[in-house]
């Protein structure tokens, strides 16, 4: 009988101790769930703040306040020298529109440098021009210069392989009426 009482006591103590362990485990799990919910809440709040920031940035870009205009590029350049009384070049710039919509107006600065980083010509384009998406358009400009001033005269003696063109759009207008102002 003593053995039965001792066995029953042992079983009761095991049940209560396992109940205590179970209660402790449940409490621990509940605390972990609360921490996870708090972390999820913080993550969702951060995600909401990021979404708001992205929306604000997109709104600024849509309004034409800020854009890096790398989707309009000069992909080819050539020229013809005229040794008339007024020395000049016909400059031929091939622009490529990599934007998803047609361009109708471009305002841009162009610098033509030799391989020694000398500015041979600094040019400016401001004109209505229609360039469909993923297509090219050649712009012809006449550039008159004083042969006694500046380095423009040396363009004719510089091989095309030694020339670098720097193209910096400042304004691009699209056919749908949107305009972007570019960082330079």
* Cβ neighbourhood burial of 157 (10 Å; 0-12, 13-18, 19+): exposed
Whether the model pTM is above 0.75:
no
Write out the H or E segment, with its range, that includes residue 128.
strand 119-131
Series of mean pLDDT values for 10-residue runs along the chain (184 residues): 58 59 78 81 81 68 62 92 89 94 94 90 92 94 82 86 92 92 77
Supply the pLDDT for residue 77. Answer: 92
Tokens in use for 8? Answer: 């029953």
Do 81 and 169 reside in the same domain of the chain?
yes
Domain termination site, one of 62, 84, 110:
62
What's the angle, vertex CA 138, arms to CA 120 and CA 122, rounded to 5? 20
Do 109 and 169 reside in the same domain of the chain?
yes
Give the range of the structural domain holding residue 25, as residue numbers without chain letter: 1-62
Supply the pLDDT for residue 19. Answer: 59
Do 91 and 173 reside in the same domain of the chain?
yes
Query: Does the residue 67 lie in any domain?
Result: no
Do 33 and 96 reside in the same domain of the chain?
no
Grouping H, G, I as helix, E, B as strand and the rest as coil, residue 68 is coil
Contact 59, 51 (CB under 8 A): no
Supply the pLDDT for residue 85. Answer: 86
Do 32 and 103 reside in the same domain of the chain?
no
Supply the pLDDT for residue 64. Answer: 47
CB atoms within 10 A of CB 167: 19
Radius of gyration of the chain (CA): 36
Query: Does the residue 13 lie in any domain?
Result: yes
Strand partners, 121: 112
Q: How many domains does the chain have?
A: 2
Write out the H or E segment, with its range, that includes residue 76.
strand 72-82
Contact 126, 167 (CB under 8 A): no
């Amino acid at each position: 009988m003593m053995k039965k009482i001792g066995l029953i006591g042992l079983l009761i103590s095991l049940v209560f101790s396992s109940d205590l362990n179970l209660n402790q485990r449940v409490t621990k799990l509940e605390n972990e769930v609360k921490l996870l919910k708090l972390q999820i809440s913080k993550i969702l709040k951060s995600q909401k703040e990021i979404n708001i920031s992205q929306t604000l940035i997109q709104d600024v870009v849509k309004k034409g306040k800020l854009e890096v205009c790398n989707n309009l590029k000069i992909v080819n350049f050539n020229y013809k020298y005229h040794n008339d009384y007024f020395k000049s070049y016909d400059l031929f710039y091939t622009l490529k529109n990599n934007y998803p919509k047609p361009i109708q107006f471009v305002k841009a600065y162009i610098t033509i440098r030799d391989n020694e980083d000398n500015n041979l010509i600094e040019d400016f384009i401001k004109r209505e021009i229609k360039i469909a998406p993923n297509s090219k358009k050649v712009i012809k400009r006449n550039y008159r210069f004083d042969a006694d001033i500046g380095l423009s005269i040396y363009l004719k003696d510089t091989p095309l392989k030694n020339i670098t063109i720097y193209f910096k759009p400042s304004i691009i207008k699209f056919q749908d009426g949107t305009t972007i102002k570019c960082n330079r």
